[in-house]
Structure 1
């Protein structure tokens, strides 16, 4: 090797962000340094954000909230390098300030022209922005940093006396001093259970789809009129809904007027949507653990100026760590999270909507801060200040809205779901309910701060399983849902008779191979009653669970088979072994091998690792956690190679 080098296994958004931080943190007068980026799809965008997908699929973030550039708000050691948000980039493309010769599709240029601050961009448009960011990073790298892009897939990484050899499916090999796994979201190899379901469905002329990325599944076997059980009501389900209905030629209209193009977000002001069928629609029967879709994105604006976090702070966490050797999420952190979120919601209610309160903020705030969560004192204070129970914060009810409910018949389920979704749309799109924006922002900041302040190694085993599971799921359910117009479309499809709700805690069973002729392949029943449906097709509308052992990604699978890495496992109180499926890494992102040794020059970052995961995208001017994480990783990688970094800013 002529110079020190690092190889990125995967070149999607996270790799692009870490690459940019490496180029920002490496001194211009230092020795030559080479960065290899191996990515079979467009570098910067990667597989999930590639251009080759339906133009109907959108991000669940507004254009004004998407950036790949650090700004002065980011509290990191490396220097900030400001640049355009996605919205600003579109403006610069239109003005000619930014020239991207790869944008030749007239439809994409139409999206660029029509994009507004509160528009939800297509994933195709985001793909162009991510690719441009990557190419700009490479172009602006100092002369002593050489970036080589390899359009290939890593099949294996092996250790050598001099470092590592990275093998590509092209037959090429790369000699590298360090390796960073940034493979992003990966598929898993099919299990025997999934194979049985596929065979059972196929034998009855049906279709089965295991958890997967919606855009990568061929749904053509789902025919017009087919009855399909769907489990999952998150973002993967919304994508499925778009592809199976509007994607096949159906359309939505208001008062007889067709709804086309962008901005689609404004349709909420025109009254209820109706769906005009194309004749190719299946019948979907949809349920999930909660039984409801993710909460929609919010359009309301805060009336009160936001305050800093009061309960999830460095001092609070340090005191907890001094008192306890290990922390339990529910016992030590969840009460603080509850009180934090309540504090900001009640501030917005009392200051922004004083007609809903019976106490001034100056009187309420010090009493609230002094009381303990769950105490009778705090409960009396909240009841006195907020007499209408609908406005009080109850995270348990938010998490499980149909807990302890039982439905007598299917119609009760439909009525309850419609009321729930209509109420959600009102709370999240009407200016009189800005308290939902306060909850959204407080949860966003709290989620990021918990990840920043609480070392995972100081959580007990139960909590380390809970964080990437339930806690991340709760955050996504409340803060990472679809645009509001997607839920309006869901209601329109329900009214048209194409989508039936099944309710919470859905259980799907597969027919036995010896079942009588005519028995449907699958049967779905809800714990809450009211739903008992049979069908020959079943789609699991959710993302694949993380896995190292069964990963379909050859590089990640080789990490396990070679012993270079290990899947995170915990032993339960009854002696059973439970796996999170994630690759074990240190807080420094260094990979831990099968023997428990930390590999000093092998790193991994992303949702497939055991570290806190805060996503690969960031909001501008918000001291976003992804920037802080990527900057820290970049400096750690350089230091691990004995290379200099620019002085901390």
Structure 2
């Protein structure tokens, strides 16, 4: 039998998941198959999850919610292959059932022993789990599947008479029948604007950092006492905060933990924190588009069992697709999303906390299902059932909490932010507020289900830009925030005088290169008033926006320059061209070239593509979208190579 081969350009978690699905879907008696995986860092973990990063950095998911295995809950054609979640993996390590060379590190073994279901593991620990998963997948592959790992970076992929030639930075080449781009998060080449900012800051003894993965930036140029403007309050900002304070030697204590400078006995974990300085701290002035940090992760539990989705269902979405040639996100999907999330929050309130309601669920539910979102009928129903407006679902206010506010001075901004963060911590950690868990779970299921039911090509141009931008950002803001203790640390640093809040809608201006000596490099002002700060340093605390044209990854950049792939562009009504920066792929994962033709043996998967962004790993027993997507891609790749797949389950 003729052998076939496929090459992965990038070997992080997504590549590892697709690899596992290939081994699961490929019959044991089929022709020999070689899978090449090219990855400059450790395969399975990749760059973002590599072991070599600060042990202070953590995941924003609890240990019980992390798995790399496609379990029986996943609705896919390939067979399920059970395996340990991260938490179960740690238990197996403790029992001696699983070994790994890095677990001999006493600090790592301490993390393994201390990890509980609701613990937030370090990225180092996750890195070991991901690397183990990759090696296990390769080792357990059938005899007719050979996995070859190449430590390096792909510089180009070219067509050949028999398929493709993949060239590595070492000069080695791989002849292959199919290529799968799984490059993960990549940097972009610096723009002229960014270079100007860097020169302006440097000329004044300051520092400028463009968007980047936080752990990869050298912040040693930020000196103790430096004033630094920071834009972005998401997860990248949280990492920055950790590295610049605790990472430099500071630490946190529970308020009241010391008496006369000595440790006090009997203080329980949790609650407000105080920050003990180390003398190396800069002064951060922080703001963002919303002006607030991502919502913290939730520790409360539902009072009642959740119900299936009511409005984002196959029947309703199919009917929409039959009625409209293309869907507009705001017109057709956003009303359903609002009503879906409201349904689950109100059910938790009315059934789980009846003292907050003035109507039974039996009376409320049918009336709610029958009403249209935005109608006066629905508005009156909710007002009657939930008299306290604080418990009513208002997604617009959640998305933009300070839209209707104007601040007279900086202190008003500080007071508003502190109240907001303290309220968020109460809502997300107190058992009396399980309605926030209902919102979290409903949004998670809704986000994933829309991605499954609505092909992106059935959305209009405006919506195809909106989905990877605002919609994904809203989901991340509500559901993918940091552990609650990180927001407690943020408040402690604010109380200690090291972090000042600037508010929403920041405008940053850069001084002209010929400005008089002493002119600060940067000035930050909030459109909501209150904040007007100058500094010689500026850190953009966020990941780079996706880009194919300007990607610093040589393989992804070569896809564009060769015409073998194309960046997703849309033309607006006024004739302007707007780009999402993403690589155009079909819903099957096939890459589309510059001429608009589908490349039959070239695939791509990940946030850098125009496909729905579903993440790289997920919760166990949740019919997770990443597993469904990876299983489908694996079967598509095998079929494209003319190879058989195991019968659909």
When the two structures are superposed, what TM-score results if normalisation uses the length of structure 1?
0.98
Aligned-pair CA distance for 1:104:
2.1
Q: May I ask how many residue pairs the two structures share in their alignment? A: 642
SS of match in other structure, 2:102: coil
Measured in 2, the distance between the counterparts of 1:453 and 1:267 equals 50
RMSD: 1.1
Q: Deviations over 1:461-505 (max 9, x none)?
A: 000000000000000000000000000000000000000000000
User: Is contact 1:268-1:485 (8 Å) kept?
Assistant: no
Q: Deviations over 1:85-142 (max 9, x none)?
A: 0000000000001122332211000000000000000000000000000000000000
Partner of 1:601: 601
Partner of 2:436: 436
The yes-or-no answer on 1:128 pairing with 2:133 is: no
Partner of 1:487: 487
**Cα–Cα, structure 1 residues 451 and 101, in superposed 2: closer, same or farther, change >3 Å?**
same
Measured in 1, the distance between the counterparts of 2:257 and 2:414 equals 27
Partner of 2:83: 83
Aligned-pair CA distance for 1:171:
1.1
**Cα–Cα, structure 1 residues 267 and 196, in superposed 2: closer, same or farther, change >3 Å?**
farther
Unaligned residue ranges in structure 1 (runs of 5+): 259-265
SS of match in other structure, 2:16: helix
Measured in 2, the distance between the counterparts of 1:559 and 1:22 equals 24
Partner of 1:621: 621
User: Is contact 2:257-2:267 (8 Å) kept?
Assistant: no
SS of match in other structure, 2:514: coil
**Cα–Cα, structure 1 residues 267 and 77, in superposed 2: closer, same or farther, change >3 Å?**
farther
Measured in 2, the distance between the counterparts of 1:270 and 1:208 equals 35
Moved more, 175-184 or 98-107: 98-107
Partner of 1:176: 176
Matched ranges for 1:196-595 at <5 A: 196-255=196-255, 257=257, 270-595=270-595
Partner of 1:149: 149
Aligned-pair CA distance for 1:170:
1.0
Measured in 1, the distance between the counterparts of 2:448 and 2:637 equals 23
Partner of 2:263: none
Q: Deviations over 1:591-643 (max 9, x none)?
A: 00011110000000000000001000110000000000000000000000110
**Cα–Cα, structure 1 residues 270 and 172, in superposed 2: closer, same or farther, change >3 Å?**
closer
Partner of 1:636: 636
SS of match in other structure, 2:104: coil
User: Is contact 2:502-2:530 (8 Å) kept?
Assistant: yes
SS of match in other structure, 2:355: helix
Q: Deviations over 1:436-458 (max 9, x none)?
A: 00000000000000000001111
Partner of 1:646: 646
Measured in 2, the distance between the counterparts of 1:175 and 1:271 equals 58
Measured in 2, the distance between the counterparts of 1:102 and 1:603 equals 33
SS of match in other structure, 1:102: helix
Measured in 1, the distance between the counterparts of 2:602 and 2:58 equals 34
User: Is contact 2:214-2:240 (8 Å) kept?
Assistant: yes
User: Is contact 1:268-1:488 (8 Å) kept?
Assistant: no
Measured in 2, the distance between the counterparts of 1:256 and 1:250 equals 17
Measured in 2, the distance between the counterparts of 1:606 and 1:272 equals 38
Q: Deviations over 1:34-60 (max 9, x none)?
A: 100000110000010000000000000
Measured in 2, the distance between the counterparts of 1:255 and 1:492 equals 9
Measured in 1, the distance between the counterparts of 2:103 and 2:307 equals 42
